[in-house]
Amino acid sequence: LKVVEEDDFQIEKSDAIMSILEENTATLRLATVGIGLITLLGAAIGLMNIMLVSVTERTREIGIRKAFGASSRTLTYQFITENIILALIGSVLAIILSVLVIYYINHSHLIPYSDLAVNWKVLAWAILISIVFGLLSGVYPAWRMSKMQVVEALKQ
Radius of gyration of the chain (CA): 26
Mean pLDDT (whole number) for 117-127? 87
The confidence score (pLDDT) of residue 16 equals 73
Say whether pLDDT at 13 is over 80: no
- How far is 42 from 146, CA to CA, in rounded Å? 25
Give the separation between CA 73 and CA 91, rounded to whole angstroms. Answer: 27
Confidence tier at 113 by pLDDT (50, 70, 90): confident
- pTM of the predicted protein model: 0.69
pLDDT over 90 (residue 96):
yes
pLDDT band at 65 (very low <50, low <70, confident <90, very high): confident
Q: Which residues of 55-75 are buried (b: 16+ CB within 10 A; e: fewer)?
A: beebbeebbebbeeeeeeeeb
Q: Spell out the residues 6+ positions from residue 17 whose beta carbon is closer than 8 angstroms to its own.
A: none
Which residues have CB under 8 Å from 140's CB, separation 6+?
A: 48, 52
pLDDT attached to residue 50? 87
pLDDT score of 44: 85
